[in-house]
Amino acid sequence: MKNLVILGAGTAGTIMANKLHHRLDHAEWQITIVDRSALHYYQPGFLFIPFGLYQPEQVVRNKTDFLPAGARFVIGEVDRIEPEHNQVLLANGEILLYDDLIIATGVDIHPEETEGLKGRLWRTSIFDFYTLDGAVALARALKDWPGGRLVVNITEMPIKCPVAPLEFVLLADDFFRLRGIRDKVDLHFVTPLPGAFTKPKASARLGGLLAAKGVRVTPDFSIARVDEDNQTIVAWDDQAVPFDLLVTIPTNKGDAAIARSGLGDELDFVPTDKHTLRSSQYPNIFAIGDATNLPASKAGSVAHFESDVLTENLLSAIAGQPLAAQFDGHVNCFIESGAGRGLLIDFNYEVEPAPGKFPLPGVGPFSLLKETRLNHFGKLAFRHIYWNLLLPGHAMPLVHSHMSLVGKDLS
């Protein structure tokens, strides 16, 4: 019996377990999935919790509800990977041998990386929403907040779901308008990027949207520390931004087990071939999703599109054949813009987001780089698609892993 071990049962790991369960010979292969938690979180839903649009129970399920029957699910902490011995050591002393390994360990937030961020103001005047606990705590803080200076700050890139901080600002604008206190709130978006987003065309469109809603933007801000006494974030060049309420997107890093294994870069992301998804160091190790160092967004859509490529390449590797499938960096993201409207962006390694229709050229029904109500409903519908189609590894109708250029205005 050969062993395929998948580290991580989040979005990427669960999809891969299901896809490979349908493609591997069960008499020849045992699939083992390892994760530290029995709970699966719909992480895009964390964004809605601070504004009372989702409740925690809507974003949490049991992992076993989505993992394939016959696969072994191990709940435990990974101590380290020993690739020279083709084995994974768990914190409880168990050793898992593998013939092939998929690393899908995702990312974690690390507020302790920024001086003063996780100090006495943490969860009183400083909040995150990239964790369920953080989103729930922020919901309590916003419910009766009287107004003041609300600063949303990205500490450094890369981060999971790069559009989420922008969505938070836009939803906050809508939230305070509905509460009748928008005139009492100074919304300030502070980012290390030169603009609102990583891609110039989308950045210009989104930056204009922020300006129209009266949101201040401070670009090129590289935070050095939090001055707790003066409730101010301070950059390395001594630029300072005061806050009454700080919503932080802390440093994102790969799993600590990757660092302990010596398999990661300076942020503990796995060096990975950006097209084949094979480890840059070991031929029988592959990586997917947020765990990689790929120059693509760390988003659920990326893990979905990568999964098609990785499935074919892993099967090719097992058969001793060249890895022919190629990932093009495809990303597809709905962006909530408030007031029941949203945008959609679709891009890859080489092509920036552009106007057009998706998924059918000229028909849509979704519009690219344009605010519409349909895009908003698409964002909301994705939660049901996630649980019922994406996680089980089913094909998504009309949505392909390789980005189509048809119907996009690339001028």
- pLDDT of the residue at 165: 97
- Other CB atoms within 10 Å distance of the CB of residue 224: 17
Lowest-confidence pick of 282-296, 305-319, 391-405: 391-405
- pLDDT of the residue at 383: 96
Q: For residue 337, name the pLDDT band (cuts at 50, 70, 90).
A: very high
Q: Which pair of structure tokens corresponds to residue 354? A: 């552009």
Query: What mean pLDDT comes out for the span 289-293?
Result: 98
Q: State yes or no: pLDDT of 197 exceeds 90.
A: no
For residue 44, what are the CA distances in angstroms to 4, 164, 168, 196, 274?
A: 29, 8, 11, 19, 24
What is the sign, positive or negative, of the torsion defined by CA atoms of 293, 394, 349, 299? negative
- pLDDT of the residue at 397: 86
Sheet containing strand 240-242, strands side by side: 223-227, 232-235, 240-242
- pLDDT of the residue at 234: 98
Select the more confidently predicted residue: 336 or 207: 336
Cα separation, 298 vs 301, whole angstroms: 9
Cα separation, 103 vs 82, whole angstroms: 13
Query: What mean pLDDT comes out for the span 318-323?
Result: 97
What is the sign, positive or negative, of the torsion defined by CA atoms of 45, 46, 48, 52? positive
Query: What mean pLDDT comes out for the span 388-408?
Result: 92
- Other CB atoms within 10 Å distance of the CB of residue 81: 27
CA angle centred on 109, ends 105 and 110, rounded to 5°: 120
- Other CB atoms within 10 Å distance of the CB of residue 357: 19
Cα separation, 53 vs 157, whole angstroms: 27
- pLDDT of the residue at 409: 87
The average confidence (pLDDT) of the chain is 96
The secondary structure element, H or E, covering residue 138 is helix 132-143
Q: State yes or no: pLDDT of 300 exceeds 80.
A: yes
The secondary structure element, H or E, covering residue 234 is strand 232-235
Query: What mean pLDDT comes out for the span 131-145?
Result: 97
Nearest to 166 by CA among 143, 121, 199: 199
- pLDDT of the residue at 265: 97
For residue 61, what are the CA distances in angstroms to 9, 10, 129, 386?
A: 12, 11, 19, 12
Task: Write out pLDDT tens, residues 227-243.
Answer: 999 999 999 999 999 99
110-251: same fold as 2-47+58-106+255-318?
yes
Task: State percent of the chain over pLDDT 90.
Answer: 93
Position 328, amino acid: D
Q: How large is the angle between the packed helices 200-212 and 164-179, nearest 10 degrees?
A: 10
Q: State yes or no: pLDDT of 363 exceeds 80.
A: yes
Q: State yes or no: pLDDT of 217 exceeds 80.
A: yes
**DSSP code per residue over 19-69:** HHHHHS-TTTEEEEEEES-SEEE-GGGGGGGGGTSS-GGGGEEEGGGTSPT
Contact assessment for residue 60 and residue 41, using Cβ atoms and an 8 Å cutoff: yes
- pLDDT of the residue at 206: 86
**DSSP code per residue over 167-218:** HHHHHHHHHHHHHT-GGGEEEEEE-SSSSSSSSHHHHHHHHHHHHHTT-EEE
- pLDDT of the residue at 407: 83
Lowest-confidence pick of 75-84, 359-368, 371-380: 359-368
Q: For residue 102, name the pLDDT band (cuts at 50, 70, 90).
A: very high
For residue 192, what are the CA distances in angstroms to 131, 154, 205, 223?
A: 21, 7, 18, 8
For domain 2-47+58-106+255-318, give the CATH superfamily.
FAD/NAD(P)-binding domain (3.50.50.60)
Domain range summary for the chain, segments of one domain joined by +: 2-47+58-106+255-318, 110-251, 332-390
Query: What mean pLDDT comes out for the span 258-273?
Result: 97
- pLDDT of the residue at 12: 98
- pLDDT of the residue at 239: 98
For domain 110-251, give the CATH superfamily.
FAD/NAD(P)-binding domain (3.50.50.60)
Q: State yes or no: pLDDT of 199 exceeds 80.
A: no
- pLDDT of the residue at 200: 78
